[in-house]
Each structure stands twice: as structure tokens, then as C-alpha cells.
Structure 1
Amino acid sequence: MISQSSGMLGVLELDEGLSECTPAPREGSLLNPATFGLPILTEIVEGALAERVIRGDPSLEGACVTAAHKLVERGASVIVGDCGFLIRHQDAISAAVDVPVITSSLLLIPILLRQLAPAKKIAVLTADTRHLGEELLGVQNARDRERLVIGGIEGGIYMRNTLARPLVRTDLEQIEHEVGECIEQLRGQYPEVAMLLFECTGFPVVSKALRRKTTLPIYDITDLCALTLNAVLGRTPT
């Protein structure tokens, strides 16, 4: 557990048009204080509708920087994005604030590739493969790129609900089914897959269950958050 007296996690939240009866964040969610054992601060990125963030609207960069500044002013020690596609604004946000910025779990890719034998592959699971371009993977070496396979759940119920206004909360079982089915398809096509990386920040709520089912290592945004928070804040003595 992270020391609660040392700082807070600041989340750049999408402008999702949530209702006043928004349910509490689920176990394992990026927005659940219990996930990291410390307070969570949120700032809505004005105009950051899911479809705009996913397709990569460059005009959102200023709003991301503004929200990041507000989070730091409120006491955030680390800034994280509530959508992996915010990685497009990583450089601008990190240049604007004096705390670590981790916009996406995709930042882990170069490190994770080195964890596996050269013959093994990593499957990157995203909400929408149509907008996960090469430029977001952070991989320059052609051999490393060949070791990445991309799978997505566009067209499913989860994405339909995510793009709805106001946002519709998808059943946990449905998320697990859609992501699990995508994993099965990728593993069938690429038996060399030995690790999974979840780009979507909505997937960590099923990471635990899918680790058990797949018996594969699964990384998501909460793992990168925990690593960064531990480095910045330190762990509570045991």
C-alpha cells in the first residue's frame, strides 16, 4: 500500500457526461482509491469525449495541459490518463508539469518486450484497433514491432456503451466476455503470445479474473500507476 500522507494520484478524466447517480468505481478500477490505497483526484478534460480521444483529436491537447495543471495545484504527485489514447498528449503534458506523467499503459511496451524471449509475442488489447496506430506503440525496431499483436473489441457492447451519452456502465461479466474472447482469438492465431497488455483503462476491472483464466502475465494502467507511485511516494513500512 502507498503512504496516504505523502501525496495523491491525479486522473485526467474524460468528459463523459455522467449522470448524478454515477455508481462507485469498481474493484481494481483506476478511479477506486482502494486500488492504490491513497486518495484519487480527478479533473475533467473539457471536451474530451471518448470518441474524440480515441480517434486522436489534436485540439484536446490544451485542455489536457490545463487539467494537469489543476491536478498539480490540488496536490497530485503523479498524473495519469483515464484513456490509453491520451498517450498522444504525453509529451505536451509532461513538459507542462513538474510531476511524473503516465498517460497510458502503452508506455510499458519497450520494457515488457525485454522481459520475454525474442521468439515470444505480446498481445496488446485495446478498445478500438482502428485508432491504435504504429506511432502510439513507441517501438522503432522492426523486429520488436513484429513481436506485438493488436486486438480490440470495437463493435461490441462495451464500446457502444462507452460512446453513449451519458455513459452507460457495462456489466462486469460482459467486459470479461468481450476481452476474454479477443484474447482467445489472438492466442489461436499467435501461439507465441506470452504476455498481455491492456491499453484500455476500462479493462483493469477484469485483469484479475483473466489472469486466472489465461495463466498469462497481464499488465494494465494500474500496474504502471503503482510502479510510479511507489517510486515517488514510497511504501508504507510493514
Structure 2
Amino acid sequence: MISQRSGTLGILELDEGLSECTPVAPHEGSLLNPETFGLPILPEIVEGAFAERVIRGDPSLEAACVTAARRLVERGASVIVGDCGFLIRHQDAISAAVDVPVITSSLLLIPTLLRQLASGKKLAVLTADTRHLGEEVLNVQNVRDRERLVIGGIEGGIYMRNTVARPLVRTDLDQIEHEVGECIGQLRGQHPEIAMLLFECTGFPVVSKALRRKTGLPIYDITDLCALTLNAVLGRNPDLDP
């Protein structure tokens, strides 16, 4: 049974190597910006969860993820979300360890999104690094569903280079929009059946609004899954209710 708690979003934050005095101003739409949901957020660093280790799937991080999730619950989190879509590898372990909803990745939406589309249409999944978005991460068992997934990534760009740097290097919004938009354009050229986009990377929601306008396609990201889950837990829509 899900515990009833005040509306607080707990974030399993990556260990980015930033000092406490490093100024951080999350952009509009960022998972780490309280204004995105109109609710308090509780970040909790997962010790040793450097971006490169999380992306490639270091199994030794699972215990640290569980420890951080438990700390978030103790601090009052009503929902726990991962600050990297590749944390989905630890979804089962984390959700078994706490009594609040756990959403480690927007990839959890794949089955639902495919069923929103006509059978001849495709869902494109945009990731920071396709080299590590394998079948074990996608976890799509149905062969027909898998055939309707198109995977694209920006692993060769500036954003990815900055993301795996220690300490983290922030990437300009224009650069993120350029790299993700260019990837989308290439995928649509190769697969005109694409009718919807899903952003795996938690760094992409800051450009979701702009790319919805440019592409004319529905785009889902981790913030959409957060809003849905918070609404279910709190009985209110953070975007609409006072």
C-alpha cells in the first residue's frame, strides 16, 4: 500500500562531482527545478553514480541507489524519480525497497505509448547514448512492439561529452536543442512512420516544448511521467490545481 505523504518529489541525483558552492540554476522544464511541478523537490545524491557508470550499467551501483531511495523516503518523499533514464536497470530493486511509487525512467512509458499509436506508426526513443540502450534496458518482449521502436542518440556530440565529464560541464540550451533536433530530423528521414517521440535522457525535457513546436509531434519525457504519478498520489494536478 502506498503511504500518504505531503507532496514532495524525491530525486535520485547523479554524483556529478560539483562542489557545494557551485551555482546551479536548473532551466525551465528541468526535473531539478521545483517550478516544473509546483512542488518541493528533495534531491539525494547516489554515491558513486557518475554519469558514465550509470549509462554503461555498473551493477555495483544498485546498493547505493537503494540506500539513497530509503533516505528520500525518510526525508518525506511521496514519489521517487531517477535523474537518468538508465537507472531503469535498478527499477525492481528500488521499488522493492520503499513504499512509495518509483519511476526510474521515462522508458517505463513505452508499452503505453505504443498503444496510443496506429499499428503502422512508430515511436522514436531519443537517448544520450544508443550504445548502452540495449534490449535489456528497453525490455520490450513483444516482437511487433519492438519493430515499431526506433532508437536514436546524440553520443557523438558536445552534450554527451559534457555529461560524462567530472565535474559535470553544463551544456547550453541551444546546443541541446540543436543536437536533439538534428537527431530527430535524421530519424524521421529514415523512418517517416514516426508519429511520437520519447526522451529517455533527463537532460532533454528542457527542450521538449521547443521541439514539440518545431516537429509537430507529441513528445513525452520524464517530467510527464512525474506529473502523472504525482497526480495519482496527491489527487491533484500540479500544473492546474492551487
Relative to the length of structure 1, the TM-score reads 0.96
What residue is the counterpart of 1:112 in the other structure? 113
Unaligned runs of 5+ in 1: none
Q: Secondary structure at the match of 1:23?
A: coil
What residue is the counterpart of 1:163 in the other structure? 164
CA distance in 2, matches of 1:214, 1:135: 29
Greater mean alpha carbon deviation, residues 16-25 or residues 143-152: 16-25
What residue is the counterpart of 1:11 in the other structure? 11
What residue is the counterpart of 2:95 in the other structure? 94
What residue is the counterpart of 1:206 in the other structure? 207
What residue is the counterpart of 1:181 in the other structure? 182
Q: Secondary structure at the match of 2:39?
A: coil
- Deviations along 1:139-174, one digit per CA (max 9) or x if unpaired, are 111010000000000010000111111111000000
Q: Secondary structure at the match of 2:88?
A: helix
1:14/1:49 contact within 8 Å kept: yes
2:6/2:76 contact within 8 Å kept: no
2:173/2:207 contact within 8 Å kept: yes
CA distance in 2, matches of 1:68, 1:52: 18
What residue is the counterpart of 1:128 in the other structure? 129
Q: Secondary structure at the match of 1:91?
A: helix
Q: CA deviation at 1:84?
A: 0.1
CA distance in 2, matches of 1:136, 1:157: 24
Q: Residue type matched to 2:16 in 1? A: E
Q: CA deviation at 1:22?
A: 2.6
CA distance in 2, matches of 1:6, 1:196: 32
1:109/1:138 contact within 8 Å kept: no
CA distance in 1, matches of 2:10, 2:184: 30
How many residues were matched structurally? 234
What residue is the counterpart of 2:143 in the other structure? 142
> 1:63-102, aligned counterparts within 5 Å?
63-102=64-103
1:13/1:82 contact within 8 Å kept: yes
Alignment RMSD (CA, Å) = 1.1
2:162/2:171 contact within 8 Å kept: yes
Identity of aligned residues (%): 87
1:11/1:41 contact within 8 Å kept: yes
Q: Which runs of 4+ in 1 moved over 6 A?
A: none
1:110/1:138 contact within 8 Å kept: no
Relative to the length of structure 2, the TM-score reads 0.95
- Deviations along 1:151-203, one digit per CA (max 9) or x if unpaired, are 00001000011111111100000000000000000000000000000000000
What residue is the counterpart of 1:215 in the other structure? 216
CA distance in 1, matches of 2:165, 2:53: 13
Q: Residue type matched to 1:54 in 2? A: I
CA distance in 1, matches of 2:217, 2:70: 38
